[in-house]
Amino acid sequence: MFEQPIPTLRRDGDAVLILDQTALPFRSETLRLATLADAARAIRDMQVRGAPLIGATAAHGVALALLHDSSDAALEHALQALAATRPTAVNLHWALARMATLLRPLPAADRLAAAWAEAEAIRADDAATCDAIGRHGLKLIETIAARRPGPVRLMTHCNAGWLATCGAGTALAPVYAAQAAGIAVEVFVSETRPRNQGLLTAWELAAAGVPHTLIADNAAGLLLMRGEIDLVITGADRIAANGDTANKVGTWLKALAAQASGVPFYIAAPHSTLDFGCADGPSIPIEDRGAAELCMLRGIDASGGLAALRQAAPGTHAANPAFDITPASLITAIITERGIAAPGQLAGLYPEAAR
Ligand code: MRU
């Protein structure tokens, strides 16, 4: 099993410790969440991020909420507050639905222990799921490695590595599996403006010793067109019943360029990202994170302190949709913990959820 170099999320008695992703890739800082408000803020402000990790954090947030009051009212308030933090990643809502189904029928006195146990089960389940995604995705990388010499050149977008989950990651799980199997892989990492999650991907790949190259988002098309990429794998925040997929904004453009260049485009995602209740991509809510984060640049200053610099003129009108939809027709296949399926054929792998 993949072991996270630093746990992204773990229980610590009556609190939850998270790796603060707003300080990365500059500083590794652990934050202590002690209340429902702490957990909700961590998700909303992206101290934790990535669809599976958001879900696991929300589950732990329910346990935090019940620490001093496990009444029906407190439970419903926690479920609502956490559901309102971020709209697109369905893993958040999947985790809250799982907590609600378990906790609502229980006597109030039994809820806290059950909530901690279920939150831990969600965390452990995600770690195992990531490993299985890695094993299935490895087969795709092995096939390419057998076809030609040199490292397999894989492009990804955003961060769908261990930082985004409780385990190895989704899109990067096959990369870590290939590394463990001794197969050379080079990862092309798009910076993923405006939040620069690609810098998180570069950070975790560097720490793992995986060769990688950071590129500007707009360079992806050229690399694909020149035949310099063997396959694209990204994560997902929600996959609709027909296979249309929401992921970090810019994913669709990579899928378009991949199709135009004859390069296979894969999505890697766990069961908690599947939304059979959502018919298609246009039905998926897209988060708008506001103009401020687009108009500012974050980094560290000369003294090593975290700093924000304005890059757009004051008053500039800006739109900041955080996700886009890649239609099923552009997706070669979806890599899940149960195997690889064409988009729209996932019901065959998950008959119980598709019902
Ligand atoms: O806004 P973020 O950083 O939470 O968005 C993350 C992504 O879009 C990831 O690609 C997705 O959640 C898959 S993570 C395994």
Q: What is the pLDDT of residues 199-233, one digit of tens each?
A: 999 999 999 999 999 999 999 999 999 999 999 99
Say if 185 falls within a structural domain. Answer: yes
Give the pLDDT confidence score for residue 121 in this predicted structure: 98
Give the whole-number percent of the chain exceeding pLDDT 70: 100
In a shared domain, residues 310 and 218: yes
Q: What is the pLDDT of residues 35-69, one digit of tens each?
A: 999 999 999 999 999 999 999 999 999 999 999 99
Q: 125 catalytic, yes or no?
A: no
In a shared domain, residues 89 and 194: no
In a shared domain, residues 81 and 26: yes
Given 125, 160, 178, which residue is the final one in a domain? Answer: 125
Say if 135 falls within a structural domain. Answer: no
Given 125, 160, 182, which residue is the final one in a domain? Answer: 125
Q: Which of 197, 233, 267, 273 to mutate to test the pocket of ligand 1 (most atoms within 8 A of CB)?
A: 197
Say if 145 falls within a structural domain. Answer: no
The pLDDT of residue 355 is above 80: no
Give the pLDDT confidence score for residue 345 in this predicted structure: 95
Say if 27 falls within a structural domain. Answer: yes
The three-point CA angle 17-21-164 to 5° equals: 85
In a shared domain, residues 336 and 219: yes
Give the whole-number percent of the chain exceeding pLDDT 90: 96
Say if 139 falls within a structural domain. Answer: no
Give the pLDDT confidence score for residue 194 in this predicted structure: 97
In a shared domain, residues 338 and 206: yes
Nearest-atom index, ligand 1, CA of 165:
15
Q: Please write down the HEC assignment for all residues of the chain.
A: CCCCCCCCEEEECCEEEEECCCCCCCCCCEEEECCHHHHHHHHHCCCCCCHHHHHHHHHHHHHHHCCCCCCHHHHHHHHHHHHCCCCCCHHHHHHHHHHHHHHCCCCHHHHHHHHHHHHHHHHHHHHHHHHHHHHHHHHHHHHHHHHCCCCEEEEECCCCCHHHCCCCCCCCHHHHHHHHCCCCEEEEEECCCCCCHHHHHHHHHHHHCCCEEEECHHHHHHHHHCCCCCEEEECCCEEECCCCEEEECCHHHHHHHHHHHCCCEEEECCHHHEECCCCCHHHCCCCECCCHHHHEEEEECCCCCEEEEECCCCCCCCCCECEEEECHHHCCEEEECCEEECCCCHHHHCHHHHC
Atom 6 of ligand 1, residue of closest alpha carbon: 50
Distance 196 CA to ligand 1 centre (A): 11
Ligand 1 binding residues, C-beta < 6 A: 49-52, 89, 158, 160, 164-165, 169-170, 197, 234-237, 247-248, 322
Q: What is the pLDDT of residues 134-183, one digit of tens each?
A: 999 999 999 999 999 999 999 999 999 999 999 999 999 999 999 999 99
Give the pLDDT confidence score for residue 112 in this predicted structure: 98
Mean pLDDT of the chain, nearest integer: 97
In a shared domain, residues 118 and 224: no
Distance 164 CA to ligand 1 centre (A): 7
Q: Please give the tally of structural domains in the chain.
A: 2
Atom 13 of ligand 1, residue of closest alpha carbon: 235
Distance 146 CA to ligand 1 centre (A): 31
Say if 141 falls within a structural domain. Answer: no
Atom 10 of ligand 1, residue of closest alpha carbon: 235
Nearest-atom index, ligand 1, CA of 49:
4
In a shared domain, residues 263 and 209: yes
- CATH of residue 36's domain is 1.20.120.420
In a shared domain, residues 97 and 157: no
Distance 202 CA to ligand 1 centre (A): 15
Average pLDDT over every residue of 96-101: 98
At residue 354 the predicted structure's pLDDT band, cuts being 50, 70 and 90, is confident
Say if 194 falls within a structural domain. Answer: yes
Say if 295 falls within a structural domain. Answer: yes
In a shared domain, residues 219 and 337: yes
Predicted TM-score of the model (pTM): 0.97
In a shared domain, residues 224 and 346: yes
In a shared domain, residues 204 and 283: yes
Q: Which domain holds residue 328?
A: 150-354
Give the pLDDT confidence score for residue 302 in this predicted structure: 87
The pLDDT of residue 266 is above 90: yes
Average pLDDT over every residue of 70-76: 98
Q: Which of 237, 244, 275, 324 is catalytic?
A: 237
Given 110, 125, 140, which residue is the final one in a domain? Answer: 125
Distance 82 CA to ligand 1 centre (A): 17
Distance 165 CA to ligand 1 centre (A): 9
In a shared domain, residues 105 and 220: no
Q: Which of 200, 247, 274 to mutate to test the pocket of ligand 1 (most atoms within 8 A of CB)?
A: 247
- CATH of residue 309's domain is 3.40.50.10470
